Amino acid sequence: MSTDDFLARFGASGQRQPDPVAAAQQAMRNALPKRFYEQAHALERDGLFHVALDGRTARTPARNPLAVASRAVAEALAAEWQAQEARIDPARMPLTRLVNSALDGVADQHEAVRAEIVRYAGSDALCYRAGEPEALVARQDEIWNPIIAALEARIGGRFVMAQGVVFAGQPAEVLAAIARRVDAIPAPVALAGAHNVMTLTGSTILMLALAEGLIDADAAWDAAHLDEDYQIGIWGQDEEAAERRANRRREYDAAVLLLKQG
């Protein structure tokens, strides 16, 4: 062990110093609130489905009732709370975090959220294609073209395609048609789900195709990760990248549930 390594671990006194990463992780664990309830379940009240903790309705960080219009969503929320162990860990509660965001934020900002989804369509990832290699070009055409064609038929407009990173603006009539479809997504819960699906896939096209029932959740996820999967096929995937992707998939599944059931 070098002198620098020794000082880093033990300090000038020769006493072992705490690992700063481990200390930070322990501090995070200690900061998590203890589980204070035995049972979590969905409770119907006043036309909504609430999450109840030992019979008492839960609330969001802004003190709004944790309540939604969908029984399926409420039951999934309650399952997240029931799955918590000695401490309540928000990192393991993607659906709760997203519903909190919907009720505390999107509810008052839904027009801005809709506008952002439409703006995203103006530079949608599916409209920017690789010029090479041929295998990737063919794969993009095979997977993306039918999805785009199906949505074009649904909205009555044609998207502009581009190659590489050269910007290609979308026709005003296409963006107007997308805006009409986005306006039909109920706020705040389903709209929050739509926004997160769009963000996680990088595509308003995929989000709308999913919302319109033109593709299912797995097809949208696979289409969004087509380029990444191509690279994994060549270079492989390390454990950290795989874990990040698994975490994104859990966030995505929560968002899809809200989009389809919220």
pLDDT tens profile 246-262: 999 999 999 999 999 98
Q: What are phi and psi of 107, to 5 degrees?
A: -55, -35
pLDDT at residue 18, as a whole number: 52
Residue 163 tokens, joined? 């190659």
In percent, the amount of the chain with pLDDT more than 70 equals: 89
Least confident of 18-27, 77-86, 167-176: 18-27
Top-tier CATH class for 40-92? alpha beta
Cβ distance 70 to 189 under 8 Å? yes
Distance CA 188, CA 101 (A): 9
pLDDT tops 60 at residue 1: no
Rg, the chain, Cα only: 23
Q: Domain spans of the chain? A: 1-31, 40-92, 98-261
- The CB density around residue 56, as the number of other CB atoms within 10 Å, is 11
pLDDT tops 70 at residue 30: no
- The CB density around residue 260, as the number of other CB atoms within 10 Å, is 19
Question: What is the CA angle 81-83-85, rounded to 5?
Answer: 100
pLDDT band at residue 38 under the 50/70/90 scheme: very high
pLDDT tops 60 at residue 11: no
Q: List b or e across 94-124, with b for residues whose CB sees 16 or more CB atoms inside 10 angstroms.
A: bbbbbbbbbbeebbeebeebbeebbebbbeb
CATH number of 98-261: 1.10.3580.10
pLDDT tops 50 at residue 224: yes
Least confident of 6-20, 178-192, 248-262: 6-20
